[in-house]
């Protein structure tokens, strides 16, 4: 989305500085360290989980629609239903504790007159300096890129993207707008997923294609494969 550097200002208070973080590492041959948090694990209730997602996406959409563009609303801004669906897919794998913390980030930003979507896109265009030096930003970005690369290898027709540089850049710029508390909770989720042999990218696309009417990610992969081979 094109944005203009002159429209962005450094957030009040300057660059946020991240706290200490344990090295998560990758599953393949790298050491995984436990992150220390004081947040108790919450077993999500489906209704409460969806309510959290709905409230978060409402906040995000309001911020997204307010991102300035000299040429008027972008194509993406004219498709709020698509925005809602893709953000639901991305966020739906998170625990209630992580979602609650992120919702608090959004609310705090609103009270401070900040727009996290403006900051994210400004960072993507290098119109703002880094918003945090929390090392978890790069750790989580690397782990999510690995998840996506593996998911795309297993389902090349149903999972677009390869976890390459563009994905890493987007992910890193988004995570810079998240608080240290939310990043720590996210890091704990990554660690848990690795320990349980789960792939968060696979879980996201399984949810997406089921929501779009397929019985499973496998069904979508087979349908797309047959269509491309026709």
Higher pLDDT, 46 or 121: 121
Residue in the block written with tokens 């750790």: 139
Of the pLDDT bands very low, low, confident and very high (cuts 50, 70, 90), residue 20 is: very low
User: Whole-model pTM above 0.85?
Assistant: no
Render pLDDT for 69-93 as a digit per residue (tens, 0 to 9): 756 677 788 899 999 999 999 999 9
Mean pLDDT of 206-220: 96
To 10 degrees, what angle do helices 200-211 and 136-154 make?
A: 60
Burial of 128 (0-12, 13-18, 19+ CB in 10 A): buried
Residues near 148 by Cβ (< 8 Å), separated by ≥ 6?
159, 161, 162, 163, 167, 201
Contact 56, 223 (CB under 8 A): no
Which structure tokens are listed for 168? Answer: 């890493």
In 3-state terms the chain splits into helix, strand, coil percentages (rounded to 5) of 60, 0, 40
């Amino acid at each position: 989305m094109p944005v203009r550097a002159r429209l962005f200002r450094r957030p009040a208070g300057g660059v946020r500085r991240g706290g200490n973080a344990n090295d998560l590492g990758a599953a393949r041959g790298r050491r995984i360290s436990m992150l220390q948090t004081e947040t108790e694990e919450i077993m999500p209730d489906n209704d409460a989980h969806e309510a959290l997602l709905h409230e978060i996406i409402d906040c995000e959409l309001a911020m997204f629609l307010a991102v300035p563009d000299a040429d008027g609303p972008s194509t993406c801004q004219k498709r709020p239903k698509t925005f809602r669906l893709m953000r639901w897919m991305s966020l739906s794998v998170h625990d209630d504790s992580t979602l609650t913390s992120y919702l608090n980030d959004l609310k705090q930003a609103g009270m401070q007159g900040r727009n996290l979507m403006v900051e994210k896109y400004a960072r993507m265009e290098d119109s703002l300096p880094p918003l945090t030096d929390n090392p978890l930003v790069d750790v989580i970005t690397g782990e999510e890129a690995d998840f996506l690369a593996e998911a795309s290898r297993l389902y090349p027709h149903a999972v677009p993207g390869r976890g390459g540089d563009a994905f890493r850049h987007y992910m890193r710029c988004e995570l810079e707008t998240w608080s240290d508390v939310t990043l720590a909770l996210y890091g704990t989720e990554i660690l848990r997923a690795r320990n349980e042999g789960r792939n968060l990218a696979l879980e996201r696309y399984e949810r997406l294609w089921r929501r779009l009417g397929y019985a499973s990610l496998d069904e979508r992969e087979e349908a797309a494969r047959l269509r491309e081979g026709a």
